[in-house]
Amino acid sequence: MSKYYISPILEKIRKSSLSNDLQYAHEAAIDYIDKLDGRSVFPSESSIKNLSIFDEELDNKPCSGKEVLDLLHNYGSPATVTQTSGRYFGFVVGGILPSALTSKWLTDVWDQNSAMYVMSPVAAKIEEVTEKWLVDILDLPEETVAGFVNGSSTAITIGLNTGRNYVYNNLGYDVIRDGLSGAPKIKIIVGEDAHSTVYKALSILGLGNDNLVKVPVDDQGRMLADKMPELDKSTLLVLQAGNVNTGSFDPFDKICKKAKDAGAYIHIDGAFGLWANACDKLKHLTKGMEYADSWSTDGHKTLNVPYDSGIVFSRHRDMLVNSMHMTGSYIILSDQRDSMLYTSDMSRRARAIDVWATLKGLGRDGVNELVYELHQKAVYFGDLLREAGLEILNDIVFNQLLVRYESDEKTEKLISEVQKSGVCWLGGAKHKGKSVMRISVSSYKTTYEDVKMSAEDIIRIAKTL
């Protein structure tokens, strides 16, 4: 083989001890976890300043795995936001349950591409099982299939793409073959408080935003059913399970059956709220959503799966597959599950295994209790703040709180000071034109003591303003 080139660098990497590097990574990870609870939720100014060490030219020569890990742990770890702690309430981001974190370490070593069965039989099998578990837990129609994508934005886009094609098919127009340029006009209906990802998805799909019919909502962001325009088979209707600010749910029981009977296509954006249907005591919030045609959610938010875990559900398998299908002489489809048929990407990590590990680690009862406990902690948080004189602007139906302190100026100042304090971290938003503190309770790590400690810090700071 001497006449063929052998890279000295790659030869050195091949002969290096991967097991030693993995052991060092394990020690660094344990060190990070052991120090997690004692850290400020947001990194200090000095830790952020030290990130300048990464501002360097790329070396010509390689460095060892240990050197890479040293930089990441010594300078990266202190500058992380501890979203995996129990006092991070800034966005609906959840946490990582132990069963998924540990299994992810192993499956990262597997490094499976889950596009087709022939590329990874284990990924295909676990994805098939996970789909069945999710459809069962979420009580979706039996014929529902799932696609595992990188986030809820992609899940919404795929759901609405399938819906667009479904509506055009109802109108006798093949949009996949003939494109949008000569397509008949369809009616797209959203609530006035629809999430921005819905608008992004519609833009990507070439449906625009000026063509939308926006249905008025109440003070909680719930669509007003009696303000719904006429529905028919040319309608693409987008509803919401979990308003991004208030956590409220559209009245599916008053809308979905009528929309279904009229021939409309219904998509439900349930990035974090879809999981209410897996909770016995919160299932009333989602009554009627079973009439929908597709649903989208994010495993990381409420279920506490690792990031990169969006899921799109569709009760129209053939339409979804037709919308996502690609061909090539090198593609080897099988009579087993070929995952690429249900998503927009081909090369993709085996992300369904993270969902499977989370569900396996929790069990049906664990999922039920996780969702309800998050809600109860949000209620407790609201009770503490309300008793101290802060105003709670929303009905706490799920895991979201909107808090206001006297005026826009004081509310914004309170948010800023709480963020600087480091006891907890939360963000701000605008609700009905008012500045509000937005609190999202979404991590299994959050305890009632975490809530109490965070509320006390907020109240302490409020009294100084």
Q: How many domains does the chain have?
A: 2
The CATH number of residue 142's host domain is 3.40.640.10
Same domain, 272 and 164: yes
Query: Are β-strands 427-431 and 212-215 bridged in parallel, bridged antiparallel, or unpaired?
Result: unpaired
* Boundary residue ending a domain (324, 359, 394): 359
- Dump pLDDT digits (tens) for 271-303: 999 999 999 999 999 999 999 999 999 999 999
Q: What does the alpha-carbon distance between residue 463 and residue 465 come to, in Å, rounded to a whole number? A: 6
Same domain, 40 and 75: yes
- Ramachandran bin of 116, using left for φ above 0, alpha for ψ from -120 to 50, beta for the remaining angles: beta
Same domain, 305 and 211: yes
Same domain, 133 and 71: no
CA distances from 129 to 132, 145, 278, 353 (A): 5, 11, 17, 10
Same domain, 242 and 154: yes
Residue 438 is assigned to a structural domain of this protein: no
Residue 403 is assigned to a structural domain of this protein: no
pTM, two decimals, is 0.94
Q: What does the alpha-carbon distance between residue 49 and residue 32 come to, in Å, rounded to a whole number? A: 19
Mean pLDDT of all residues belonging to the chain: 93
Residue 398 is assigned to a structural domain of this protein: no
| Percent of the chain whose predicted confidence (pLDDT) is above 70 | 100
Residue 68 is assigned to a structural domain of this protein: yes
Same domain, 337 and 206: yes
Residue 60 is assigned to a structural domain of this protein: yes
Residue 367 is assigned to a structural domain of this protein: no
Same domain, 74 and 105: no
Q: Give mean pLDDT, residues 77-92.
A: 90
- Dump pLDDT digits (tens) for 227-278: 999 999 999 999 999 999 999 999 999 999 999 999 999 999 999 999 999 9
Residue 92 is assigned to a structural domain of this protein: no
Q: Give mean pLDDT, residues 61-85.
A: 92
Same domain, 32 and 148: no
Same domain, 124 and 70: no
- Dump pLDDT digits (tens) for 203-231: 999 997 777 999 999 999 999 999 999 99
pLDDT, residue 427, reads 94
Same domain, 230 and 321: yes
Q: What does the alpha-carbon distance between residue 183 and residue 202 come to, in Å, rounded to a whole number? A: 15
Q: Are 358 and 304 in contact (CB under 8 A)?
A: yes
* Boundary residue ending a domain (359, 380, 402): 359
pLDDT, residue 155, reads 95
Residue 90 is assigned to a structural domain of this protein: no
Same domain, 316 and 287: yes
CA distances from 8 to 2, 13, 15, 454 (A): 13, 9, 11, 55
Tell me the residue range of the domain where 48 lies: 8-82
Residue 75 has pLDDT above 90, yes or no: yes
Q: Which of 264, 283, 12, 28 is nearest to 138 (CA)?
A: 283
Bigger pLDDT: 208 or 383? 383
Same domain, 130 and 40: no
* Boundary residue ending a domain (359, 390, 415): 359
pLDDT, residue 1, reads 59
Q: Are 271 and 243 in contact (CB under 8 A)?
A: no
Tell me the CB-side half-sphere exposure of residue 15, using CA atoms within 13 A. 6
